């Protein structure tokens, strides 16, 4: 197809992970191949990023439930927008966005192709009875009517299969894209630890707390056993589900108050991860792969929940373990295995009296500089070890560039097919 494809993305700005995935994807799409418009509830930050990507945007309130009148009214407004933009393809991020897009298409004679990225099951946890069944019915309708359903893992595909039994012929798997953030040149693990209230000389285990806090209690129970035999260990809880009164109280009851720091959602999470001796992700949730990939990229041993899509991230990595969710004994064993390789406080390898700082505070560059060469050009390093090679393959598989390549191919494929069908029927 020589003309650019008219592409529209629909998402709600309130869904942080979904918004980040969509905006990062849009920024990597070729402007020669796609003319992109975004519709939805867009905050100032999202509008700035879209402006940088030269994408058009339309502010539009999207329903947060399946209330008939709100859905029909929004669908009619969206149908007029799709017709005005001559949209060929809609990428709806989330079940709600897809539900609205598919309703809008019913108002058009020649509606666009609709691709749905559901990002897991619809919100069923807080619902029961008739409301729950209504959400399930609407989600099943979306899965039938969408031209393509794009999931981020085989586990998510199984989740959708449990929602709507039977073969889904329109299913595609595109792994989650991670934007790898480089550490600042002046980054110091010890300085970061002091900044957030951790002992620079301790062995630190971090836990990424899922939004609902799934698996955190099991982690805290395992942490108590780990601490009992290793007094030079501290723990830090990071993320949306971290800073809650409930988990602070549980930690206090378990005797972890003096060696546990609770942090919420922070802009420097990647630096905190790079300051750890091990990272635990106790449950699979949207966005968790970002933290797993950053841990691997910084050579941080990783422990993930065995249930979900996270084991796929660490399948080739030796310094990683998959443990059943809420398996306290398994978590304790995995943490102990990694921590027992960390020097204790009084080790000469950990602290240099003459230099006055910990060797773990030094950021060792991966680039070798030949000082006999004019210009200080980097000297190509040796071959990667088997572990380093496995990490590099994992980073590439879950990179945002790879995700953009997958979607570029998918968009082109379905738009070309749609154009061929339109020509044959015209």
pLDDT tens digits for range 311-358 = 999 999 999 999 998 899 999 999 999 988 654 444 444 455 554 544
Count CB neighbours of 259 within 10 A. Answer: 21
Q: Tell me what pLDDT residue 418 has.
A: 82
Residues 138 and 409: their CA atoms lie apart, in Å, by: 29
Q: Under 8 Å CB-to-CB from 402, ≥6 apart: which residues?
A: 175, 177, 396
> pTM for the whole thing?
0.83
pLDDT tens digits for range 58-81 = 999 888 777 788 889 999 999 999
* N-terminal to C-terminal alpha carbon distance within the chain: 18
Q: Tell me what pLDDT residue 287 has.
A: 87
Tell me the mean pLDDT in the region 166-184.
Answer: 89
Q: How does residue 376 score in pLDDT terms, banded at 50, 70 and 90?
A: very low
- The verdict on domain 189-360+386-398 having CATH code 3.40.50.2000 is yes
DSSP 123: S
pLDDT tens digits for range 222-253 = 999 999 988 889 999 998 877 788 999 999 99
Q: Which residues of the chain does CATH 3.40.50.2000 include?
A: 5-177+402-425, 189-360+386-398
Q: Tell me what pLDDT residue 115 has.
A: 98
Q: How does residue 301 score in pLDDT terms, banded at 50, 70 and 90?
A: very high
Q: Tell me what pLDDT residue 307 has.
A: 87
Across 131-135, 200-204, 351-355, 360-364, least confident range:
360-364
**DSSP 3-state of 119:** coil
Q: Under 8 Å CB-to-CB from 240, ≥6 apart: which residues?
A: 209, 210, 211, 264, 265
> 5-177+402-425 maps to which CATH number?
3.40.50.2000
Q: Tell me what pLDDT residue 383 has.
A: 63
Top pLDDT among 94 and 364 is at 94
**DSSP 3-state of 402:** helix
Q: Tell me what pLDDT residue 68 has.
A: 80
Q: Tell me what pLDDT residue 26 has.
A: 96
Nearest one of 153, 42, 156, 43 to 95, comparing CA atoms: 156
Q: Tell me what pLDDT residue 382 has.
A: 54
Q: In this model, does residue 363 exceed pLDDT 70?
A: no
Tell me the mean pLDDT in the region 375-388.
Answer: 61
Q: What are phi and psi of 54, to 5 degrees?
A: 60, 35
Q: Exposed, middle or buried: residue 374 (CB in 10 Å: 0-12, 13-18, 19+)?
A: exposed
Q: Tell me what pLDDT residue 300 has.
A: 94
Q: Tell me what pLDDT residue 404 has.
A: 96
Q: Tell me what pLDDT residue 14 has.
A: 64
For the chain, the average pLDDT equals: 86
Residues 409 and 115: their CA atoms lie apart, in Å, by: 13
Top pLDDT among 365 and 121 is at 121
């Amino acid at each position: 197809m020589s003309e650019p494809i008219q592409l529209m993305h629909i998402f709600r700005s309130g869904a942080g992970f979904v918004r980040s995935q969509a905006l990062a994807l849009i920024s990597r799409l070729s402007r020669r191949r796609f003319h992109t418009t975004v519709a939805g509830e867009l905050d100032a930050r999202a509008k700035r990023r879209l402006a940088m990507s030269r994408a058009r945007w339309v502010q539009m309130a999207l329903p947060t439930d399946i209330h008939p009148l709100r859905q029909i009214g929004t669908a009619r407004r969206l149908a007029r927008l799709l017709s005005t933009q001559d949209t060929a393809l809609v990428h709806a991020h989330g079940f709600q966005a897809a539900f609205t897009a598919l309703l809008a298409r019913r108002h058009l004679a020649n509606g666009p192709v609709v691709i749905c990225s559901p990002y897991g099951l619809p919100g069923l946890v807080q619902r029961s009875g008739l409301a729950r069944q209504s959400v399930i019915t609407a989600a099943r309708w979306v899965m039938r009517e969408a031209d393509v359903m794009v999931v981020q893992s085989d586990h998510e595909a199984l989740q959708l299969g449990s929602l709507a039994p039977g073969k889904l012929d329109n299913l595609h798997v595109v792994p989650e894209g991670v934007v790898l953030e480089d550490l600042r040149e002046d980054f110091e693990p010890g300085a970061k630890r002091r900044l957030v209230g951790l002992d620079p000389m301790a062995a630190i285990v971090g836990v990424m707390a899922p939004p609902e806090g799934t698996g955190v209690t099991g982690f805290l129970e395992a942490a108590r056993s780990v601490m009992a035999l290793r007094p030079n260990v501290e723990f830090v809880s990071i993320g949306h589900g971290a800073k809650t009164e409930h988990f602070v109280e549980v930690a206090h009851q378990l005797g972890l108050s003096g060696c546990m720091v609770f942090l919420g959602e922070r802009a420097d999470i990647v630096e905190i991860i790079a300051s750890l001796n091990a990272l635990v992700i106790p449950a699979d949730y949207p966005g968790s792969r970002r933290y797993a990939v950053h841990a691997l990229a910084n050579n941080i041993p990783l422990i993930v929940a065995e249930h979900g899509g996270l084991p796929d991230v660490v399948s080739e990595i030796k310094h990683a373990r998959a443990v059943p969710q809420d398996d306290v004994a398994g978590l304790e064993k995995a943490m102990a295995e990694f921590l027992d390789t960390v020097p204790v406080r009084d080790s000469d390898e950990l602290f240099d009296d003459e230099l006055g700082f910990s060797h773990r505070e030094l950021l060792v560059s991966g680039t070798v500089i030949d000082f006999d060469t004019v210009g200080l050009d980097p000297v190509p390093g040796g071959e990667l070890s088997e572990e380093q090679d496995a990490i590099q393959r994992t980073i590439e598989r879950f990179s945002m560039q790879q995700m953009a390549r997958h979607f570029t191919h998918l968009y082109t494929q379905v738009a070309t097919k749609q154009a061929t069908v339109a020509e044959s029927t015209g």
